[in-house]
Amino acid sequence: MNKKYLLLASVVLLSAIGGLLLGNLLARRANISNSSGLFSTHGRSKVDELLSIIKNQYVDTVDTKAMSEALLSDAVSQLDPHSVYIPAADLADVNSELEGSFSGIGVQFNIQNDTIMIVSVVSGGPSEKVGLLAGDRIIQVNDSAFVGKNITNERVMKKLRGPANTKVKLGIRRLGTHEILHYNIIRGDIPVNSVDIAYMIQPGIGFIKVSKFASTTYSEFLNAIANLKNKGAKKFIIDLRENSGGFMDQAINMVNEFLPEGRVIVYSKGRAYPRSEAKADGKGSCINTPIVVLIDEFSASASEIFSGAIQDNDRGILVGRRTFGKGLVQQQFDLGDGSALRLTVARYYTPSGRCIQKPYVKGNSDAYEMDILNRFNHGEFYSKDSIHISKKLKYKTFGGRTVYGGGGIMPDVFVPRDTTEFTPYLNKVINYGYIYQYAFQYADQNREKLKALKTWMPLVAYLQKRNILNDFINFVAKKGVKPDMKQISISRRFIEIQLEAYISRTVLGDNGFYPLLYKDDKTVTKALEVLHSKK
């Protein structure tokens, strides 16, 4: 689903990310010091005392464990929007997003028609070793039926993930095979990649998309740089759009590849957190290599550290839209019951001294999360003049340019959202997921023919001879979206590219997806213009 035309879907996605970060805060345990005494009466927690009274005296039986989490979730909500309690049951899943691997069976899946569809199988992973294929349907898990309207992504992951060397039995329905196929799979470590794609977008120009800053991001990034240089890359586009952040040290290490010795990358400080400063060591592999960094309203945290360091050091050009505006640093404290507290302990500052944290009201996270929608309503995504940011917080870059703090990072080159192809018809087919559903169905039914096409270019040439747009129009018409030929004419190019890109992804993976998706991307096009400019 393309977020370009789905602001509300984007806000939901951002809220989901925020949900992982905001969580429910548990009462302070013994291994986190309580010097204030606010939660203690005669050495005993006030919360424990209150819950004990309720447990023993209340007219009905209550779940005091759930109540304790709810009570202190309300307490932490009075802090900033990014301090978070993570329950023990959720900690492994939350951490796995930023760790280098997790344990599972090694498949990417999608739920369609109440059935788990395997979209791709991780090369060398447990599922590939036993013979699972892209297009297989998982209908049984451990001899029990696992289909129907109650199947969710969360339930599937809980079933398929698990400790390494544990076993799960799957019942598979495969096209062309009448009987159910059974596979016993031994779970193993599955890599979590954060560099989605690295390819030569034009001769001499390498393109690297980083989706998050995880524990392996820097090493992945170095490999991408080296591989692209071997292919002739002399300039780079670094795509941080929709990258919500992650580990600060990974962003610092990445920036270090581009800055001369002694340049400040970032510094941070807090009430109980002494100033800590990171500077470039001058040993980077791309100190004199021209770069452009792509950013948008969903680029946050570590993405803003990277972008701010590049901009404040006048080291490259930022292209896109104003970033999210998260300038707070969290530290994780592990609690005695297996849960964890991620507490904001400091603010970080870009080299010029900017704290780009956008304003927030303590205890009002709803307003904070609605900021993206407010930006949209103000017209910020479509006009640079509509951006509301304080001009009082002025700072100077290394080269003397004026930049502003207090609300994200402004790009050097603004690129508005493109709505020229937007129509109500397009909105419907995207919102209902019909583009993706059709692409998966088409690839599934033509998998053998498409597998013979090894790159996206011959695959697209093949698809363009098949006139898949008409087939798609009939597909969505059967699902209740009546064709409107005037609107389809306006949205035609966008729909065709989306269909081709998702079909290519199903067959070739991300290597067949992003080069096609970004072929007409206006932000990417502007970045290429900047790199070709002599200025």
Residues 202 and 288 in one domain: yes
Residues 113 and 59 in one domain: no
CA distance 501 to 499: 5
Last residue of a domain, one of 191, 226, 248: 191
Query: Which residues are CB-neighbours of 49 under 8 A, at least 6 positions away?
Result: 41
Helix H or strand E segment including 10? helix 7-22
Note whether residue 497 is domain-resident.
yes
As a three-state string, the secondary structure of 397-451 is CCCCCEEECCCCCCCCEECCCCCCCCCHHHHHHHHCCHHHHHHHHHHHHCHHHHH
Last residue of a domain, one of 414, 434, 468: 414
Residues 260 and 140 in one domain: no
What is the phi/psi pair of residue 113, to 5°?
A: 50, 40
CA distance 56 to 64: 10
Note whether residue 533 is domain-resident.
no
Residues 258 and 157 in one domain: no
Residues 361 and 443 in one domain: no
Task: Residue 156: give its domain's CATH number.
Answer: 2.30.42.10
> What pLDDT, on the 0 to 100 scale, is given for residue 43?
52
Q: CB of 195 within 8 A of CB of 217?
A: yes
Residues 510 and 380 in one domain: no
Q: What is the DSSP string of 239-279?
A: E-TT---B-HHHHHHHHHTTS-TT-EEEEEEETTEEEEEEE
Q: Would you tell me how many other CB atoms lie within 10 Å of the CB of residue 126?
A: 24
What is the phi/psi pair of residue 522, to 5°?
A: -70, -30
Helix H or strand E segment including 141? strand 137-141
Query: Which residues are CB-neighbours of 287 under 8 A, at least 6 positions away?
Result: 257, 258, 259, 260
Note whether residue 83 is domain-resident.
yes
**Residue ranges making up the domain that contains 85:** 3-90
Residues 80 and 141 in one domain: no
Note whether residue 43 is domain-resident.
yes
* Helix 248-256, helix 302-312: angle, nearest 10: 30
Last residue of a domain, one of 156, 191, 226: 191
Residues 85 and 110 in one domain: no
Residues 296 and 400 in one domain: yes
Note whether residue 96 is domain-resident.
no
CA distance 184 to 167: 7
Note whether residue 217 is domain-resident.
yes
> What pLDDT, on the 0 to 100 scale, is given for residue 11?
35
Number of domains in the chain: 4
- Residue-wise pLDDT tens for the chain (535 aa)? 444 433 333 333 333 334 333 333 322 332 333 333 334 445 567 778 888 898 899 999 988 888 887 777 777 778 888 888 888 878 877 777 677 678 899 998 888 888 999 988 887 789 988 889 888 999 999 989 999 888 888 889 889 988 899 999 999 998 778 889 999 999 998 888 899 999 999 999 999 999 999 999 999 999 999 999 999 999 999 999 999 999 999 999 999 999 999 999 999 999 999 999 999 999 999 999 999 999 999 999 999 999 999 999 999 999 999 999 999 998 888 888 888 888 899 999 999 999 989 888 776 777 787 888 888 888 888 888 788 777 788 999 999 999 988 889 999 999 999 888 999 999 999 888 899 889 989 998 998 899 899 899 999 999 999 989 999 999 999 999 999 999 999 999 999 999 999 999 988 988 899 999 998 899 999 999 999 996 6
Residues 61 and 108 in one domain: no
Note whether residue 95 is domain-resident.
no
Task: Residue 209: give its domain's CATH number.
Answer: 3.90.226.10
Residues 368 and 494 in one domain: no
CA distance 117 to 112: 7
Note whether residue 49 is domain-resident.
yes
CA distance 87 to 341: 9
Tokens of 442: 């088409």
Residues 170 and 240 in one domain: no
